[in-house]
């Protein structure tokens, strides 16, 4: 890698629906000379074809991006706009992924070769940024295969959204937003790249064992040998059928690995007694029932810790759409905005978050670029 350069960035959000006008508002005369990476997160309400072409014309560097279920900037949660950034001072290699349904270990190995993972030196900071189609239903295997093939290079990213219509998620490849696609960028610098993960759920001590499931469909049929919806409701001291969507949102399932809990969000309690999850789950797994605490207080602590050793130039946030829905329900979006206003942030509301080979829900993952 070339000699170290200071990491700098420009970032912002625009609600203008003309793509060129939106980019003008965000970057406001910024000098793109020597840019390393462009990042674009856009509402599916945009004319994404026009935006893709405008982005390709504007950025003299590789660009990664996707459609969203809402955007994030230093003003907080946003809708129907575009959040974008340009970073200077890092080394970038980008590789796209197509035909996600047939992705396997060999393709993962080929991907990390294209990214030049073997060239990373021991004293560098490096991270793989991943963006995957949010409706591919393959994030678990994709993230795991890429992470293992890389030899454990830190991985952070998110799954694209489409404002909760669950119909048309896409990832920016070149100058086109494409369905069924993904992109992986290896980002390297001598220093100043840090990753983070966090959620605000506490373990209630209630344990549920998955006794019958279909991991590929992300469906649990039985917990503790009983119909899954019934066992889950009983764990929350509710009668079967009495749980509201809010209770499901506030009480996710979690898997404990080491000392860390990874969230497995409940999408739906189905009429046949099964549970549809947002993540795959295997039979035999022990699940912990979680309960919500303060989103904004926990987030403030997480960001303070993530940025404690650097002067942040950009904070990328991959934030589950369910966290946004919970903030809306708790009327705490203003508190969220107050927390992120202290940081040079962009991000989006995702259909799933990626962290070190794991696909999670109801979580924020992120990357801090600092000097």
pLDDT in tens, the chain (371 residues): 554 689 999 999 999 999 999 999 999 999 999 999 999 999 999 999 999 999 999 999 999 999 999 999 999 999 999 999 999 999 999 999 999 999 999 999 999 999 999 999 988 999 999 999 999 999 999 999 999 999 999 999 999 999 999 999 999 999 999 999 999 999 999 999 999 999 999 999 999 999 999 999 999 999 999 999 999 999 999 988 888 889 999 999 999 999 899 999 999 999 999 999 999 999 999 999 999 999 999 999 999 999 998 999 999 999 999 999 999 999 999 999 999 999 999 999 999 999 999 999 999 999 999 98
pTM for this predicted structure: 0.96
Q: Are 104 and 138 within 8 A, CB to CB?
A: no
Domain residue ranges in the chain = 8-198+297-370, 201-292
What's the distance, CA 310 to chain centroid? Answer: 22
- If one counts every other C-beta atom within 10 angstroms of the C-beta of residue 52, the result is 24
- If one counts every other C-beta atom within 10 angstroms of the C-beta of residue 217, the result is 12
| Token pair listed for 78 | 């946003």
Residue that the structure tokens 């970038």 belong to: 92
Residue that the structure tokens 């064992």 belong to: 209
Please give the Cα distance from 159 to 166 (Å, whole number). 12
List own/partner pairs for 24-27 with CB under 8 A and 24 or more apart. Answer: 26/82, 26/84, 27/58, 27/84, 27/86
Please give the Cα distance from 356 to 366 (Å, whole number). 11
Q: Are 350 and 324 within 8 A, CB to CB?
A: no
Q: Any residues with CB less than 8 A from the CB of 331 and at least 6 apart, and which?
A: none
């Amino acid at each position: 890698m070339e000699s170290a350069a200071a990491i700098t960035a420009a970032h912002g959000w625009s609600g203008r629906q003309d793509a060129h006008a939106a980019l003008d508002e965000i970057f406001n005369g910024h000098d793109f000379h020597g840019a390393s990476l462009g990042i674009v997160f856009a509402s599916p309400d945009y004319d994404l074809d026009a935006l893709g072409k405008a982005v390709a014309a504007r950025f003299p560097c590789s660009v990664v991006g996707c459609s969203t279920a809402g955007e994030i900037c230093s003003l907080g949660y946003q809708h129907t706009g575009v959040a974008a950034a340009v970073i200077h001072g890092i080394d970038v290699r980008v590789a796209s992924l197509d035909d996600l349904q047939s992705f396997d270990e060999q393709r993962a190995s080929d991907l990390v070769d294209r990214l030049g993972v073997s060239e990373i030196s021991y004293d560098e900071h490096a991270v793989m940024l991943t963006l995957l189609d949010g409706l591919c239903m393959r994030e678990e295997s994709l993230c795991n295969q890429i992470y293992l093939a890389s030899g454990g290079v830190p991985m952070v990213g998110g799954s694209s959204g489409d404002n909760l219509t669950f119909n048309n998620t896409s990832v920016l490849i070149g100058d086109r937003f494409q369905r069924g696609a993904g992109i992986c960028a290896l980002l390297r610098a001598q220093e100043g790249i840090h990753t983070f993960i966090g959620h605000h759920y506490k373990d209630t001590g209630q344990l549920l064992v998955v006794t019958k499931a279909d991991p590929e469909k992300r469906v649990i049929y039985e917990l503790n040998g009983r119909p899954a919806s019934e066992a889950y409701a009983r764990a929350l001291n509710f009668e079967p059928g009495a749980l509201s969507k809010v209770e499901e949102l506030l009480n996710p399932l979690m898997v404990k690995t080491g000392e860390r809990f990874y969230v497995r969000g409940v999408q739906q309690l189905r009429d046949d007694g099964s549970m549809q999850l947002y993540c795959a789950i295997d039979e035999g797994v022990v699940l912990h029932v979680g309960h919500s605490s303060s989103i904004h207080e926990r987030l403030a602590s997480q960001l303070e810790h993530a940025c404690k050793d650097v002067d942040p130039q950009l904070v990328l946030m991959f934030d589950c759409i369910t966290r946004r829905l919970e903030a809306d329900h708790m009327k705490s979006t203003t508190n969220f905005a107050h927390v992120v206003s202290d940081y040079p942030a962009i991000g989006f509301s995702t259909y799933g978050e990626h962290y070190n080979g794991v696909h999670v829900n109801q979580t924020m993952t992120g990357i801090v670029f600092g000097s």
